[in-house]
């Protein structure tokens, strides 16, 4: 059991150290949230104690109401309080078919991408194509690889997420208390997150804030997507032009006011200027016009993070990766 979590009436205790490939809960189990779990989202809590459970299973048992907190149904964004009593349903996990640890090449790759590291937090310049966590057919992501690199760090957790094809600053907390503080900053919008993106077409709005709610898990052709929807969650994105490349494309600085799934991509597409190279929400015909300039991935990069630490400003930034910078250089050369 994680040291901050206490089982109650232990008919079949859940163990974060259960052997891979075994059922980690043969019966309904009740777990009490400890002080170290205070403020953590229930989905992240379940991912931690049901160590080998795929993310899809976690959300399925949450949606079905099989997971209860203090005998009440809750959503995946519910935040725990110390003393909460969590009902965890029985789950059966298939044997893991992957190796027990990330490859040496992946470890070296992620280790070389660390751009800031101190006693409380770490920042990785996440490469495009690498997931932040395992799941959906991927054995390991950034967080699993960092845990393998630093087994002494028992509370290493993602502070936020980036899409698999998005590169840039990814913040990781080394202690649960630090994680809670950073999550509070995100909720209270005390952390600035800036992205650089290239959108298709000539952005005509100047600096523009899009404040439109987003709803996830809507299905289109069997695929989950995110859409602007009146019943969705609040989402605020501010786009500011950095450079126009004729009518072909525009480089934008993006200030992310909230952190919803696919937020920048959906808001940009809704405005009529989709992120270049975005296969889900983009425009293939306009993307084709950018192929000769070397566009071969989604042009979205988490450029910087800024917030206060101990009363002093803290900023970390990651330069555009070469494959994106070369697209801009080619566009500038044509201008």
Active-site residues: which are they? 163
Structure tokens at 245: 């490349």
Beta pairing, strands 236-245 & 208-211: antiparallel
Asked if 244 and 203 count as a contact pair (C-beta separation under 8 A), the reply is: yes
Continuous segment of H or E residues that includes residue 214: strand 214-220
Beta pairing, strands 300-309 & 312-317: antiparallel
Continuous segment of H or E residues that includes residue 117: strand 114-117
Q: How would you label 304-313 residue by residue, b for 16+ Cβ within 10 Å and e otherwise?
A: bbebeeeeee
Taking each helix axis from N to C end, the angle separating 104-112 and 142-149, rounded to the nearest 10 degrees, works out to 100
* Alpha helix ranges (H) inside the chain: 42-49, 55-63, 104-112, 142-149, 176-187, 263-270, 284-290, 322-334
Sign of the alpha-carbon torsion through 260, 302, 305, 173: positive
Structure tokens at 70: 């203090």
């Amino acid at each position: 059991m994680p040291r901050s979590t206490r089982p109650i009436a232990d008919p079949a205790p859940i163990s974060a150290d259960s052997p891979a490939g075994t059922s980690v809960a043969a019966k309904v189990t009740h777990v009490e949230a400890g002080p170290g779990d205070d403020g953590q989202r229930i989905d992240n809590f379940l991912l931690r104690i049901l160590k080998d459970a795929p993310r899809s299973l976690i959300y399925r048992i949450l949606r079905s109401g099989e997971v209860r907190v203090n005998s009440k149904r809750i959503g995946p964004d519910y935040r725990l309080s110390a003393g909460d009593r969590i009902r965890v349903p029985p789950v059966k996990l298939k044997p893991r078919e992957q190796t027990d640890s990330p490859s040496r090449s992946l470890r070296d790759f992620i280790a070389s991408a660390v751009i800031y590291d101190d006693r409380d937090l770490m920042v990785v310049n996440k490469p495009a194509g690498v997931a932040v966590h395992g799941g959906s057919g991927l054995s390991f992501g950034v967080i699993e690889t960092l845990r393998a690199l630093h087994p002494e760090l028992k509370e290493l957790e993602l502070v936020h997420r980036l899409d698999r094809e998005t590169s840039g600053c990814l913040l990781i907390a080394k202690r649960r208390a630090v994680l809670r503080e950073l999550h509070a900053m995100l909720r209270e919008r005390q952390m600035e997150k800036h992205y650089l993106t290239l959108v298709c077409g000539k952005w005509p709005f100047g600096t523009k804030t899009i404040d439109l709610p987003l709803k996830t898990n809507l299905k289109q052709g069997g695929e989950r997507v995110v859409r602007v929807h009146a019943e969705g969650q609040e989402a605020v994105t501010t786009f500011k032009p950095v450079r126009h490349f004729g009518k072909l494309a525009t480089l934008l600085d993006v200030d992310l006011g909230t952190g919803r799934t696919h937020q920048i991509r959906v808001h940009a597409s809704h405005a009529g200027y989709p992120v270049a190279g975005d296969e889900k929400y983009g425009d293939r015909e306009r993307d084709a016009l950018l192929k000769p300039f070397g566009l071969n991935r989604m042009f979205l990069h988490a450029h910087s993070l800024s917030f206060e630490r101990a009363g002093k400003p803290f900023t970390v930034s990651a330069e555009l990766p070469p494959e994106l910078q070369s697209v801009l250089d080619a566009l500038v050369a044509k201008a």
